[in-house]
Structure 1
Amino acid sequence: MMMPQELIRAKRDGRVLTDAEIAAFVSGITDGRVTEGQAAAFAMAVFFRGLSLAERVALTRAMTWSGTVLTWDLPGPVLDKHSTGGVGDTVSLALAPMVAACGGYVPMISGRGLGHTGGTLDKLASIPGYDARPGLDRFRSVTRSIGCAIIGQTSDLAPADRRLYAIRDVTGTVESLDLITASILSKKLAAGLGGLVMDVKCGSGAFMAGIDEARALADSIVSVANGAGLKTVALITDMDAPLASSAGNALEVTYAVDYLTGRACEPAFHAVTVALCAEMLVLGGLAADIAEASRRVEEARTSGRAAEIFGRMVAALGGPIDLVERATDHCQSAPVIRQVKAGKVGIVERVETRDLGLAVIALGGGRTRPQDEIDPAVGLSALARPGDTADILGIVHARSEAQADAAEIALRAAYRIGPDAPIRRPHALQRIT
């Protein structure tokens, strides 16, 4: 077998790796024979040299089979959604119960935050008592009885990806199209899905800022997934501004509850969430077309069924039984809360969304090292969007006055105020099948 350092050298020099070489390296990542430094060096070599389609498939397959691969016997379709990540991307918390309320089953395996983006797993971890890493038996039971279960990667499912994912987060290799494809699909294939909808973000807050990059990633995921037998479609959605007006773990949980209960319904967040849910319903045969699926999704939310399912899921996984009714009581709040005014008259012309995500990390809401603990209470809320009249740019939630000062400076720097409203982009930019 080729030594890890020799395989790294081969990829560094641009050689195409064989299926057997990739499988052996992934096996080493899983059992620890490949060190953290070697895994990081491999990720950087892939970042610069790239993988062929055959290598990408081999890496995805090897990471999928590095652990348990689930099978399901359920009365409805097994469906999921995955996002490439952004700022204020709280969709998963709302989407899973909305699809479950329409007859789908959503065993969603979520990830930690990567780079400047928030992770669904970190948001769930801010709910007191919520077991984000249950055993597979409990995962299966909750999915079967309630319709959805959102958890993190367990040691059983795609363990090679779990280790490489954490290393990529802190080594500047998050944006690799090849590694993103293999990471996403290894988890989804291991979950035993019947259909997948990809949400590929594009804009200033996305890993793939340009439309061509986003399209390349969407094409990669759709082609590899369908080639592996997983029905997949992708939407490229706008991330030129925070999707939700809140960014931060506990803040986003509260936001999702407010959305599901009808206390809040921001147009951009609502449009993207409904569009992704509708694609899932059509993919699973639960609706004849997008128009019918959209109506069903809307009714699942307005009737209160989706909120009820979310509350039952949280309770079944160890969280409070009344989170939906008392989210603000259960979710931590920061001791320093500061409103940030624009300081000038005008209209929000542009937002450097990535900088807002970095501001949340600086507050303690994200990681700079894999072992870092996250402060669930900190973040930003009431964030202004392009086209809004410049008044309140946002509200800072911080652990200390010094942190609030730094976040206020970052918030002001991220906004461009001018006399003219920007041209609004569609929330969903392209659809790839």
Structure 2
Amino acid sequence: MEPFDVVDIIRAKRDQQELDPEQIAWVIDAYTRGVVADEQMSALAMAIFLNGLNRPELQQWTNAMIKSGVRLDFSKLSKTTVDKHSTGGVGDKITLPLAPLVSVFGVAVPQLSGRGLGHTGGTLDKLESIPGWRANLSNEEIFQMLDSGPGAVVCAAGADLAPADKKLYALRDITGTVDCIPLIASSIMSKKIAEGTASLVLDVKVGSGAFMKTQEQAAELARTMVDLGSDAGVNTVALLTRMDQPLGRTVGNALEVQESLDVLAGGGPEDIVELTVALAQEMLACAGKPDEDVAAALKDGRAMDQWRAMISAQGGDVDAPLPVAPCQHQVLAEDDGYVMCLDALQVGVAAWRLGAGRARKEDPVSAVAGVEIHAKPGEAVRKGQPIATLHADSDSRFDRALDTLEGAWTIGHDVPELPQSLILDRIAQE
């Protein structure tokens, strides 16, 4: 005999009542066990979408999702742990140079990552373009890599980590309840808290290529997640960062790995370097090391050494060439002038249509597909000059991608005034 009736819980939230902790703990557990049906949880998710969860409700909801599975414990490691999570953007390859960079300074970085869905690329998809690299590790392998190995690991989260979230996320995706701040925050933070890291830095994206289109929305999400982390005893800070144009000059799996290697070699696009350094500084400050010269570790090869050790430890061949697309197509500028803006969402969707992303979780992705950007905002172009190169496994992919990119570059005759920094705001524990 179950202690609650799910219909009563749905009605309560529908009617804007506060759910008590026992109701929340039961409904998450019962849904994970299959006692609460998908259509019932769909109704509850929509009621939450419309009426929200207050801070105690959200804390209990997140705790219940954590308790649906295991919680990792890194307290026996010889060093402290700090992780980073991004809410997802176009060309967001920051994890790749960031994890090895932070590990240079004796901090363990357990980066349990995911796969891409829609127009935002997944870190695991990118790394799987490296021959031999494997995403799935045992808990023992993760601990070994963090403690006596390279000190950083990027791998798949196990199925036993917040399984309620995995089930609920799939349901939200098909019921129009994805864009709900309490459900987004609890989804992200249940996995990150269950992961067992001591500190967490959040990169909350704002703009056309992000889930949060306005700074106000992003700030609300960031504050909600920082509060959840604080309530759970995880030292949490968030940066709000711009996502109106793609990060760097590549969008796609192998393309983004190559760009990350450029950054680790001391070069690479300025925006990638800026954000990597800023997030590394925040992570090290959380770990009690606020004065380290992270930019120097990118320039002098220490971060690259950590990258090679990290990739090799997961079976990757660090000396093998990355795969290259057999088919390429250039996009040409239609006028002389300056690039005024470049729409991140259009570029992301184009890369997806070229094969770099997936519409459903079970879809395959192409390692070689993507968009290489030759002209970004503020740069001068001439009519007929290549402003992008499309990469794909087949010529048949180009037409739909080109349709998507129609109007993505806005070219004007005056040099545009561009923002000085990618970072809009910083939100910390109160």
| Residue 274 (structure 2) aligns with | 271
Which ranges of structure 1 fall in alignment gaps of 5 or more residues? none
Q: Give distance in 1, aligned partners of 2:355 and 2:42.
A: 24
| Residue 203 (structure 1) aligns with | 207
- The answer to whether 1:220 aligns with 2:227 is no
| Residue 365 (structure 2) aligns with | 374
TM (norm. structure 1) is 0.91
> For residue 198 of structure 2, what is the amino acid of its counterpart?
G
Is the CA contact 1:56–1:178 (under 8 Å) kept in the aligned structure 2?
yes
| Residue 31 (structure 1) aligns with | 33
The SS at the match of 1:412 is coil
Q: Give distance in 2, aligned partners of 1:260 and 1:28.
A: 47
The SS at the match of 2:305 is helix
| Residue 162 (structure 2) aligns with | 158
Report the CA distance shift for 1:405/1:90 in structure 2 as closer, same or farther (over 3 A). same
Alignment counterpart, residue 319 of structure 1, candidates 304, 316, 319:
316
Q: Give distance in 2, aligned partners of 1:126 and 1:16.
A: 47
- Per-residue deviation, 1:81: 0.8
Structure 1 vs Structure 2: percent identity of aligned residues? 42
Q: Give distance in 2, aligned partners of 1:303 and 1:17.
A: 54
- Deviation per CA, 1:386-430, whole angstroms, max 9, x where unpaired? 212234331111222231122123223222111223322221111
> For residue 409 of structure 2, what is the amino acid of its counterpart?
Y
Report the CA distance shift for 1:40/1:124 in structure 2 as closer, same or farther (over 3 A). farther
| Residue 128 (structure 2) aligns with | 125
Q: Give distance in 2, aligned partners of 1:125 and 1:33.
A: 37
- Per-residue deviation, 1:352: 2.0
Q: Give distance in 2, aligned partners of 1:413 and 1:335.
A: 26
> For residue 428 of structure 1, what is the amino acid of its counterpart?
I
Report the CA distance shift for 1:318/1:29 in structure 2 as closer, same or farther (over 3 A). farther
| Residue 388 (structure 2) aligns with | 394
| Residue 91 (structure 1) aligns with | 94
Report the CA distance shift for 1:43/1:397 in structure 2 as closer, same or farther (over 3 A). farther
- The answer to whether 1:432 aligns with 2:427 is yes
> For residue 112 of structure 1, what is the amino acid of its counterpart?
R
Is the CA contact 2:198–2:235 (under 8 Å) kept in the aligned structure 1?
yes
- Deviation per CA, 1:320-348, whole angstroms, max 9, x where unpaired? 2xx2x44xx2x333221112111211211
For 1:334-413, list aligned pairs within 5 A. Answer: 334-382=325-373, 384-390=375-381, 391-413=385-407
Q: Give distance in 1, aligned partners of 2:104 and 2:408.
A: 38
> For residue 344 of structure 1, what is the amino acid of its counterpart?
D
| Residue 305 (structure 2) aligns with | 308
Is the CA contact 1:115–1:174 (under 8 Å) kept in the aligned structure 2?
no
Report the CA distance shift for 1:303/1:36 in structure 2 as closer, same or farther (over 3 A). farther
Stretch deviating more after TM superposition (245-254 or 25-34): 25-34
- The answer to whether 1:299 aligns with 2:296 is yes
User: Highest Rg: 1 or 2?
Assistant: 2
Which ranges of structure 2 fall in alignment gaps of 5 or more residues? none
RMSD of Structure 2 on Structure 1 (CA): 2.1
- Per-residue deviation, 1:255: 1.6
Q: Give distance in 1, aligned partners of 2:44 and 2:390.
A: 38
> For residue 378 of structure 2, what is the amino acid of its counterpart?
G
| Residue 265 (structure 2) aligns with | 261
| Residue 242 (structure 1) aligns with | 246
TM (norm. structure 2) is 0.91
Stretch deviating more after TM superposition (6-15 or 250-259): 6-15
- Per-residue deviation, 1:14: 3.3
- Per-residue deviation, 1:383: 5.0
| Residue 422 (structure 1) aligns with | 416
Alignment counterpart, residue 191 of structure 2, candidates 184, 187, 191:
187
Stretch deviating more after TM superposition (101-110 or 159-168): 159-168
Q: Give distance in 2, aligned partners of 1:423 and 1:40.
A: 45
